[in-house]
Structure 1
Amino acid sequence: MNEEQVSRGPIGEAVLIAGPTASGKSALALELALATGGIVINADSMQVYRDLRIITARPTQGEEARAPHRLYGHVDAAVNFSAGTWVADAAKALGEAKAEARLPIFIGGTGLYFKALTAGLSVVPPIPAEEREAVRARLELNGAEALHAELARRDPRAAERLNPRDRTRIARALEVVEATGRSLLDWHREGQPPLLPKDSFRAVFLAPVRDELYARIDARFDAMLGAGALSEVEHLAARHLDPLLPAMKAHGVPALIRHLRGELSLEQAAMIGRADTRHYAKRQFTWFRHQLPEFEWVKPEEARAWLAAIVSTARDPD
């Protein structure tokens, strides 16, 4: 693929770099930021947590020092951080980039964040803490399938779309209908406009060959363990946070916590962490293919040609 093939017109207001975990997104984003004087803005739902630098493969402090980085490690693990909150934070980062005449470079693997950025997001009112805690208490006491049956009585349309064992989504749908009296599906139809409308950005999805990607995922997980991921998870576990919080479900975290409790050997925990990450990568391919068709799919080895076209357009928009 040459520059003519990857270049599809003006660069627009922003560049979006997505892809499965371990596909080389961060390196490409940093290279683009250095070449254009841009700001790297995180669009990964786990890299927002300050407690999880190593296990989520966040950019290193040295990498962050080379170019401005935003929305990395700015949220405590005790916070149930939502896509709506991320959009609000992203709007501020986007405004900052525009004010400084810098190219905003959104990079990550969370499809919902990119969907919210480019297509808008439903606005669900904040759920009172007591409502959320009551639902989670029933979940722990009665189990996911019992709560799914309860949801089927309260909100049959939402229940029909959910797996009866999907603890997180069932709890979310039930807390919304209990707190607001309306289905989560109704709230999804009433959204806010996108921060980046159609044709205002360039977007790429790095799509490695599956077998090569899975080998990279396995190697990276082992490298994270070597870099101190287990100690990081040990500090997180010592906080005794709600296991349903997003940070507590980051890939590798639940299995490593089980290892720390003596339930699994380290190798067993690592096998689970690697497998969970590979499964997540597979889901990322599916999400972006069906939900975000505006992304250009590029093999990692062709990313430099794509990057060169972007840089050329940024320097000479005419």
Structure 2
Amino acid sequence: MSDQPFALLLAGPTASGKSALALALAERLGGTVINADSMQVYGGLRAITARPDAAEEARAPHRLYGVHDAGTAASVAWWRGQALAEMAAARLPILCGGTGLYFNALTEGLSEIPPVPPEAREEARGLLAALGPAALHARLAEADPDTAARLRPSDSQRLARAWEVWRGTGRGMAAWQAVPGTGPAQRDGVAWRFAAIRLDPPRDALRAAIGQRWQGMLAAGAVEEVAALVARGLDPTLPAMRAHGVPEIAAALRGEISMEEAGRRACLATGQYTKRQATWFRHRPLAGATDTHTIHARVAGQEQFSESEWAEIIAFIDRRR
């Protein structure tokens, strides 16, 4: 046993079964599941983001699920601060999600970017809405080519963030990120130790799971959730309004497409996103983790692990904490 505090990272693409595995581990090991998914932090999106339901949350402690209002964007820095507080209070923190930037914020740290004036943020959102992400990317490439080179032209949220940082601070995000920042996560001045379990199921199994997940979301009230969001008149560029399934169901509610077509589009978009997630975790390993145990064979949670598989998972964790 080390004097350093220990936390487990549980990462993988959407619909790979992370939540089910995290819950099972929390029950077996007395852990606390801490959300590391950038969409599941928002309130009012339990069904559409396939968050753990009330019965699952009652079986083991769950933190940072549905805690941020959908009407404002939750920053990585905000999440990091909340996660560190929850980790300090947990016997075994199990950080569960598919957002690589969240994990990196803990294991590598964040750049100390100054607060951005509201007018810069409003300008960025306005340009994104008026021009679209590709045109905003082109403008960013002229103003801040180093940052633009790191971003996909379709990544609207990060493009808007990059524009507001450049306009609001006079320096681009790439320049800020080159300056030493917070450093890896610590508790009482002692660095956290991390080990990771990564889910990487076969593509065909993941595609099937995405389809099943969509049907489960509908049955759990996803349409009603999206209707409530739409009724608030929220900015469509907000992260919560771009969660997979929200734009598609909103279009169906407006009568622009059928609900069947909404499902087809949402599952397609989710599948494309999972490819990017899998690529991230394969080619950019979870930096800061002492070791990573990868599960390839299945979508976790769809069937029970055998006792030998459980023994291997538990032994991996025990050897590293």
Q: Calculate the TM-score normalised by the size of structure 2.
A: 0.87
Q: Secondary structure at the match of 1:201?
A: strand
- Deviation at residue 74 of structure 1 after TM alignment: 0.5
- Deviation at residue 37 of structure 1 after TM alignment: 1.3
Percentage of matched positions with identical amino acids: 51
**Partner of residue 301, structure 2:** none
Q: Secondary structure at the match of 1:192?
A: coil
The structure 2 residue matched to 1:264, chosen from 257, 260, 274, is: 257
**Partner of residue 286, structure 1:** 279
1:101-112 to structure 2, matched below 5 A, reads 102-112=91-101
Q: Distance in 2 between matches of 1:75 and 1:303?
A: 37
- The 8 Å contact of residues 202 and 297 in structure 2, kept in 1 or not, is answered as no
**Partner of residue 141, structure 1:** 130
Amino acid at match of 1:52: L
Q: Distance in 1 between matches of 2:5 and 2:310?
A: 14
Amino acid at match of 2:176: W
Is 1:93 the equivalent of 2:96?
no
The structure 2 residue matched to 1:119, chosen from 94, 108, 112, is: 108
Q: Deviations over 1:220-245 (max 9, x none)?
A: 10121122111111111111111111
- Measured at CA, do residues 193 and 317 of structure 1 come closer, stay the same or move farther in structure 2, by a change above 3 Å? closer
- Measured at CA, do residues 181 and 304 of structure 1 come closer, stay the same or move farther in structure 2, by a change above 3 Å? farther
Is 1:277 the equivalent of 2:270?
yes
Q: Which structure carries more helix by proportion?
A: 1
Is 1:308 the equivalent of 2:298?
no
- Measured at CA, do residues 286 and 300 of structure 1 come closer, stay the same or move farther in structure 2, by a change above 3 Å? same
**Partner of residue 119, structure 2:** 130
Amino acid at match of 1:292: P
Q: Distance in 1 between matches of 2:297 and 2:4?
A: 20
- The 8 Å contact of residues 206 and 303 in structure 1, kept in 2 or not, is answered as no
Q: Distance in 1 between matches of 2:306 and 2:6?
A: 20
Q: RMSD over aligned Cα, in angstroms?
A: 2.7
Amino acid at match of 2:121: R
The structure 1 residue matched to 2:39, chosen from 46, 52, 63, is: 46
**Partner of residue 182, structure 2:** 192
Moved more, 246-255 or 133-142: 133-142
- Measured at CA, do residues 226 and 22 of structure 1 come closer, stay the same or move farther in structure 2, by a change above 3 Å? same
- Deviation at residue 43 of structure 1 after TM alignment: 0.5
Unaligned runs of 5+ in 1: 1-8
Unaligned runs of 5+ in 2: 299-304
- The 8 Å contact of residues 251 and 273 in structure 1, kept in 2 or not, is answered as yes
- Measured at CA, do residues 308 and 189 of structure 1 come closer, stay the same or move farther in structure 2, by a change above 3 Å? farther
- Measured at CA, do residues 225 and 156 of structure 1 come closer, stay the same or move farther in structure 2, by a change above 3 Å? same
- The 8 Å contact of residues 128 and 136 in structure 2, kept in 1 or not, is answered as yes
- The 8 Å contact of residues 210 and 270 in structure 2, kept in 1 or not, is answered as yes
- Deviation at residue 152 of structure 1 after TM alignment: 3.0
Amino acid at match of 1:201: F
The structure 1 residue matched to 2:294, chosen from 291, 294, 297, is: 297
- Measured at CA, do residues 306 and 177 of structure 1 come closer, stay the same or move farther in structure 2, by a change above 3 Å? farther
Q: Deviations over 1:236-259 (max 9, x none)?
A: 111111111110110011011011
- Deviation at residue 15 of structure 1 after TM alignment: 1.2
Q: Distance in 2 between matches of 1:67 and 1:21?
A: 21
- The 8 Å contact of residues 94 and 104 in structure 1, kept in 2 or not, is answered as yes
- Measured at CA, do residues 145 and 234 of structure 1 come closer, stay the same or move farther in structure 2, by a change above 3 Å? same
- Deviation at residue 158 of structure 1 after TM alignment: 2.1
- The 8 Å contact of residues 40 and 51 in structure 2, kept in 1 or not, is answered as yes
Q: Deviations over 1:285-304 (max 9, x none)?
A: 10001122553321355696
Q: Secondary structure at the match of 1:122?
A: coil
Is 1:168 the equivalent of 2:153?
no
- Deviation at residue 141 of structure 1 after TM alignment: 3.2
- Measured at CA, do residues 282 and 313 of structure 1 come closer, stay the same or move farther in structure 2, by a change above 3 Å? closer
Amino acid at match of 1:219: Q
- The 8 Å contact of residues 115 and 292 in structure 1, kept in 2 or not, is answered as no
